[in-house]
Structure 1
Amino acid sequence: MSAPGLPSAPNHASYDVVIVGGAMYGAAVSWFLTDTPGFTGRVLVIERDPAYEFASTSHTNSCIRQQYSQEINVRISQFGADFVKSFRARLGGDPRVPDLVLQSFGYLYLADDPAFAAALREAQQLQAACGAATRHMTRDEIAAAYPFYHLDDILAGNHNLVDEGYFDGGTMFDWFRRSGRERGVEYIHNEAVAMTREGNRVTSVTLKSGERVSCGHVVNASGPRAVLTARMAGLDLPVEPRRRFTFIFDAAQPLDRDLPLTIDPSGVHMRSDGRYYMAGCPPDDDPAVDYTDFTPDHAIWESKVWPAVAHRVPQFEAVKLINSWVGHYAYNTFDQNAIVGPHPEVGNFIFVNGFSGHGLQQAPAIGRGVAEWLAHGEYRSLDLTPFRYERIAEGASLTEKAII
């Protein structure tokens, strides 16, 4: 995912849009600007880590689902799935662009108590009303479809085999960035360190190398570092970095079919990953961490992940850990949902933040919507105003219950 050889100095002193952060959201917003009719402005993307070594984009598990508790999130994922499946056509039919495959092995949420089962049924009804193919399944129906599960402690589940699963998010990111640059988006290896604010506008961004560029709009696409960027404009944001752990393992007795992305009541999730399997979880104690803290915790595998995996799938009692890594969620502590759009007082400061782990799958719809807002002052395809910043000050939570 690296972008070697980026210049450090901007080519111009003034830009219509300055985007702070060049990972998935900087790439998506900037590419969609180039694809938005009527927009002819100059775009600068500032990326402090062009190797993307510490970017959440580089640590993603590249999955997509429609199983959410908020309708807006279901709609966003439906567009995302369509975008992935028509990726080459969406990028203008360029024969260099690969076709992306959405491997729809589905998500399976398992409930172990009546309240959780009822919540799953309610969510299934919402998703079905949006056109999703989610099924609410009894324990016996789950056992018939996937006989390898141990289900004595399970009452029900939700499952969807249509447009839910894994895709190559790295390729999508690479082509957003590559195509955007070919269309005139300017990327630099630098860092925003300050902003000049005059009344209700940010008028310029100062770079670590000393240059100052004036701006029509500033887009905060800084992932887990979003609050640092917001504070440059005198604003605050309830977003913090939280560690998430991923483990790749081999099984002595592989399953005879794909393992859906299974969300166990323990908080552990697991899925097929080619010939191997992938599992992950949050830590039991889940505080904010330093932006540079990617410290592994191998005890989590031994004490939490492997016991949960072996309990749910007895064939996984004999497994071999192959690889593991730590990534950061840009965690919205207010309601675990995205914060998108302009600040109500500083109107040219645009948030694209706080995705709490589902940012990559939402990038097509959010990138398109933010580009529409920048070009036209309104959302034209899908109304993203439920994610407005104002809800934080109003205490109007848009809580997403289906966070993994």
Structure 2
Amino acid sequence: MKTYDVVIVGGGIVGSSAAYFLKKQGFTGTIALIERDTSYANGCTARSCGGIRQQFSTPENIRLSKFGLNILRRLKEEFGPEADVGFHEQGYLILASENGRAILEENHAIQVENGADNVLLDAQGLAKQFPWLVTDGLALGCFGKSGEGWLDPYSLMGLFRKAAAARGVDIIQGEVASVKKTGGRASSLTLTDGSEIACGTLVNAGGTGAGALARMAGIELPVGPRKRYVYVLDCPGASEALHKAPLTVDISGIYFRPEGRQFICGLSPEEVDEPREMNWEVDYAWFEERIWETLAARVPAFEAIKVVNAWVGHYDYNALDQNAVIGPHPQVSNFLFANGFSGHGLQQGPGAGNAIAELIIHGGYRTIDLERFGFERIARKVPLFERNVI
């Protein structure tokens, strides 16, 4: 049986970041990063829309995303002169009706207090700045002037993973079958191929499989996969102004953004409409019946769109409050959580990985205080709701 000081399960952006920051911060012990799909093609990170924003209602989420933004600002310094993730800093635009005005104003105040560079625009201001937008039914919009946009998620994940490997982290292809506890600690895990790995600390960065991994250790964690459709649209008549649009979130919940010379869009369903089968099949009727008409009413240029491609992404959804679970288990103290990001993992992964490294090396947070994201709220079933989930 091979022994590692730290075993991280899950090699996406969160797990890779944790491994990287452990080494960067001077951890001298051995680290294994276990990933069942080393093509990373179907992981949460690779199939995300690549967004980064500070438009959240929870201060910790804003600070985590600002940590990720700082990495993007210093990308070449962090990873070398060839590092590039195609960051498009075109902002987010979140729209609100009169009924949603108060919440948008409250969120904006929290964001500005925590250093976000965004501004509120009334209907007249929206029409002036975004002439492609129909403002009927809109009271306000919150626009991120800087520090928001989108990037290539696979490239960012790859930078962290390769940098971690270059610093001596062992990347192991395998799937965890069981976790053994000894004396109230996670002592080892067994992979599906029968191999066993002993651990000093076990980090659960398992993405959609985080809940299943926790159950192997006798821990109930309300994190599991949710299925989302992303549609690629061709719109030959789109103006240059529309191609420079921010990622825009309508009052209906429908979002869209430019993607090269095309666009992508989607809509998260209500609980009763959640897809039950966690496969990779796209439901094109969801676009036809729930998205197209509403999207075209908000952006008339989209009356002539054509769906030319689509994909399915799965993300690790925290059913309690849609916020991440980060930190140690109160009883199984060497079992650390870094999961449940509910669609925000790409932008918050670097900050979360850094936080895990600080916990392991220093025994506490140094950069961002994430105590409120700890497992204790899960055990007590006391949610810390994020109001700005897209």
Please say whether Structure 1 and Structure 2 have the same fold, judged by a TM-score greater than 0.5: yes
Residues 28 and 367 of structure 1 are in contact (CA less than 8 Å); yes or no, is this contact kept in structure 2?
yes
Which residue of structure 2 lines up, in the alignment, with residue 21 of structure 1?
A: 10
Letter in 2 for 1:393: A
Query: Are 2:306 and 1:320 aligned?
Result: yes
Report the 3-state secondary structure (helix = DSSP H, G, I; strand = E; otherwise coil) of the residue aligned with 1:244. Answer: strand
- Superposition map of 1:77-226 within 5 A: 77-91=65-79, 94-95=80-81, 97-114=82-99, 116-226=100-210
In 2, Cα distance between the equivalents of 1:357 and 1:195?
27
Which residue of structure 1 lines up, in the alignment, with residue 248 of structure 2?
A: 262
Letter in 2 for 1:60: S
For the structure 1 residues 24 and 156, does the alpha-carbon distance in structure 2 shift closer, same or farther, using more than 3 Å as the test?
Answer: same
For the structure 1 residues 43 and 377, does the alpha-carbon distance in structure 2 shift closer, same or farther, using more than 3 Å as the test?
Answer: same
Cα deviations by residue, 1:308-334 (Å, 9 ceiling, x for unpaired)? 220110111001212101111211110
Letter in 2 for 1:25: V
1:286, CA displacement in angstroms? 3.9
Which residue of structure 2 lines up, in the alignment, with residue 73 of structure 1?
A: 61
1:393, CA displacement in angstroms? 2.1
- Superposition map of 1:355-394 within 5 A: 355-394=341-380
1:161, CA displacement in angstroms? 1.7
Query: Are 2:14 and 1:30 aligned?
Result: no
Cα deviations by residue, 1:267-297 (Å, 9 ceiling, x for unpaired)? 110011111111011234443745x522210
In 2, Cα distance between the equivalents of 1:287 and 1:311?
25
Report the 3-state secondary structure (helix = DSSP H, G, I; strand = E; otherwise coil) of the residue aligned with 1:40. Answer: coil
Cα deviations by residue, 1:133-177 (Å, 9 ceiling, x for unpaired)? 111110000000011111111111111121000122221111111
Which residue of structure 1 lines up, in the alignment, with residue 286 of structure 2?
A: 300
Residues 139 and 156 of structure 1 are in contact (CA less than 8 Å); yes or no, is this contact kept in structure 2?
yes
Letter in 2 for 1:46: I
Report the 3-state secondary structure (helix = DSSP H, G, I; strand = E; otherwise coil) of the residue aligned with 1:398. Answer: coil
Q: Which runs of 5+ in 1 are unaligned?
A: 1-11
1:183, CA displacement in angstroms? 1.1
Which residue of structure 2 lines up, in the alignment, with residue 282 of structure 1?
A: 268
In 2, Cα distance between the equivalents of 1:172 and 1:152?
38
Identity across the alignment (%): 40
In 2, Cα distance between the equivalents of 1:166 and 1:18?
30
Which residue of structure 2 lines up, in the alignment, with residue 53 of structure 1?
A: 41
1:375, CA displacement in angstroms? 1.4
Which residue of structure 2 lines up, in the alignment, with residue 4 of structure 1?
A: none
Residues 242 and 286 of structure 1 are in contact (CA less than 8 Å); yes or no, is this contact kept in structure 2?
no
Letter in 1 for 2:68: G
Q: Which runs of 5+ in 2 are unaligned?
A: none
Residues 323 and 384 of structure 2 are in contact (CA less than 8 Å); yes or no, is this contact kept in structure 1?
yes
**RMSD of aligned Cα (Å):** 1.4
Name the count of aligned residue pairs. Answer: 387
Residues 224 and 317 of structure 2 are in contact (CA less than 8 Å); yes or no, is this contact kept in structure 1?
yes
Letter in 2 for 1:41: G
In 1, Cα distance between the equivalents of 2:63 and 2:341?
15
In 1, Cα distance between the equivalents of 2:115 and 2:13?
27
In 1, Cα distance between the equivalents of 2:195 and 2:247?
47
Report the 3-state secondary structure (helix = DSSP H, G, I; strand = E; otherwise coil) of the residue aligned with 1:56. Answer: coil
In 1, Cα distance between the equivalents of 2:64 and 2:353?
11
Report the 3-state secondary structure (helix = DSSP H, G, I; strand = E; otherwise coil) of the residue aligned with 2:213. Answer: helix
1:65, CA displacement in angstroms? 0.2
In 2, Cα distance between the equivalents of 1:43 and 1:32?
11
1:396, CA displacement in angstroms? 2.8
